[in-house]
Chains A and B, each alone.
Chain A
Amino acid sequence: MEAFLHQVLSGLATGGIYAIVALALVMIYQATHLVNFAQGEMAMFSTYLAWTMIDAGLPYWGAFAGTVALSFALGIAIERIVIRPVGNAPVLAVVIVFIGLLVILNSVAGWIYTYTIKSFPSPFPGGSVLGGYLSRHELGVMGVTLGVLLLLFLFFRFTPLGLAMRAAAQNPVSSRLVGIRVGWMLALGWGLAAAIGAVAGMMVAPIVFLDPNMMAGILLYGFAGALLGGIDNPAGAVAGGLAVGVLENLSGAYLVGTELKLTVALVLIVGVLVVRPSGLFGRVLVNRV
């Protein structure tokens, strides 16, 4: 029982990271109806930026804030420079741009920082809490995840800009007719996705270590979480991400061992999608014309 509880709790901690990645995917999906395959590499690149700042002597939280801000700006730049020109291109062309972005970020990171694994510090002290159920880092990750979710919720729910971003994603034409600069809202969405992806990268790097391929698996789990919860539903994506984290841990511990746990998670997800294609909490369209 105690081991079980331990697996669930630490599953929630990694699930929180998947939830953030899922949320970043949802943010771009809602605006473009495309899955940003480069999301993981963007987060990886941001984590290297944080590593550079820490390496240069910045205190951890200073580097954290700097990385989030810089990633936000880079996300906007990517939308303006790379994504915007293919705005009206066929889906396949945009997907190829995403994949191109993925490859470029990966190889540029490898070129600058080499493919050697680096350790990345955790801002939280070592040791465990709750009688050994949870490491301090895992607990800290949970806190950071909750903080990110709460901030995003408040932003989208209560600020005019957040409302405008939701409106622009839902109905671009009506949004333009009330004076919302829809193009900028899309860019802002990319900025936010890049910023929260950076948080996910910095939280996971102390566990998986920093290398240019560190986000590959995480992106897959985040994607699975988003699909599971409903890729057009932010709250669903968060729930999906957490569920995938727990599922991954439990199946790794009790069913198939660590080598095959990814398979089990994916099989379960495919099963859910066959039964409910819009995900567990996917939006049932309420619409009248």
Chain B
Amino acid sequence: MTAILEVSGLVAGYGAAPVLHGLDFAVPQGGVATILGANGAGKTTTLRAVSGLIRPAGEIRFAGERIDRLSTEDIARRGIAHVPDGRGTFVHLSVEENLRLGAYTRRDPAGVARDFERVFALFPVLQERRRQQAGTLSGGEQQMLAISRALMLRPRLLLMDEPSFGLAPLIVREIFRIMRAINAEEGVAILLVEQNAGLALELASQAYLLETGRVVVAGSADALGADDAVRRSYLGY
């Protein structure tokens, strides 16, 4: 398996004391990996380190290139789209402006126009609300907008931070269905951080269990789903 994202010895945090103590993980080319863990385990911190929002130590390679010294802007320009926790909506701007910003770095107007059609096909509700102020969308609609904004970048890797957070089960299933489609049909690799371990393990091929900043179990998603500790703590059966 070749990896699009390879992380080794990742140490990162917010002040003197690190939150992550040397993580190793990888996302397969065109595949889906998931990081599971309890509240405060360091999942969000991991994604922030990958996209350069905090300065990490250790090595992060994207498509073979070291990115751990690059700025967030440059990491995004290389094709990593990060859907942050809380969704990162530009609440005062319209739905359409949010999408336009997703494509900010692109210089192919025709491709951008096609991608508008594509995300409107995936989420028709966004087309109906394209002139609406994004802050007035429902939580589910904002999550759809966040995913669409990320897709407008034409990413090769999508970082998703708890897309199921605060959403009704029906919407969660819809969002996971679309992530699966994006991955299968367009080969966009996904690194998914989730509390909803059942759904995440269904979607992913690789899985990592994070506890207080350390990977304690790593393996195929099937193996993690069968692991007793994982089942007891995160799957509840």
A-side residues, CB < 8 A to B, are 160, 163-164, 166-167, 170-171, 173-182, 283, 286-289
Contact = CB atoms under 8 A, between A and B. Distances in A.
What secondary structure prevails in chain A residues at the interface with B? Answer: helix
14 contacts: A160-B104, A166-B92, A167-B90, A171-B89, A171-B90, A174-B88, A174-B89, A177-B88, A178-B81, A178-B149, A286-B91, A288-B91, A288-B139, A289-B139
Interface string B101-128: 1101100000000000000000000000
Nearest to B137: A288
B51 interface: yes
B153 A163 contact: no
B77 interface: yes
A224 to B, nearest CB: 25
A286 B133 contact: yes
A289 B76 contact: no
A14 B214 CA distance: 64
A171 B136 contact: no
A156 to B, nearest CB: 11
Given A178-B76, A288-B136, A167 B101 contact: yes
Candidate in B82, B97, B101 with the most chain A CB atoms within 10 angstroms = B101
Contact of A179 (B73, B84, B91, B92): B73
A283 B91 CA distance: 12
A175 B149 CA distance: 11
A178 B98 CA distance: 10
Contacts, number: 80
Contacts of A180: 73, 101, 104
A260 to B, nearest CB: 40
Contact of A166 (B71, B93, B149): B93
Given A170-B92, A179-B77, A289 B86 contact: yes
B34 interface: no
Contacts of A182: 73
A289 B87 CA distance: 9
Contacts of A181: 73
Contacts of B81: 177-178
A171 B104 CA distance: 15
Contacts of B184: none
A287 B53 CA distance: 24
B102 A178 contact: yes
A177 B135 contact: no
Candidate in A171, A180, A182, A288 with the most chain B CB atoms within 10 angstroms = A288
Given A177-B53, A288-B135, A288-B139, 4 more contacts: A173-B53, A177-B76, A180-B104, A287-B91
Contacts of B195: none
Given A171-B90, A286-B135, A177 B100 contact: no
A106 B137 CA distance: 49
Contacts of A283: 92
B46 interface: no
B97 A173 contact: no
Given A173-B84, A287-B135, A288-B139, A179 B93 contact: no
A174 B102 CA distance: 10
Contacts of B206: none
Contacts of A287: 91, 135
B72 interface: yes
A289 B77 CA distance: 27
B101 A175 contact: yes
Candidate in B51, B76, B97, B104 with the most chain A CB atoms within 10 angstroms = B104
Nearest to A286: B135
Candidate in A177, A182, A286 with the most chain B CB atoms within 10 angstroms = A177
Contact of A177 (B72, B138, B139): B72
A24 B68 CA distance: 38
A157 to B, nearest CB: 10
A231 to B, nearest CB: 15
A178 B92 CA distance: 17
B142 interface: yes
A237 to B, nearest CB: 16
A173 B101 contact: no
Contacts of A176: 53, 71-73, 76
A171 B139 contact: no
Contacts of B136: 286, 288
A201 B86 CA distance: 44
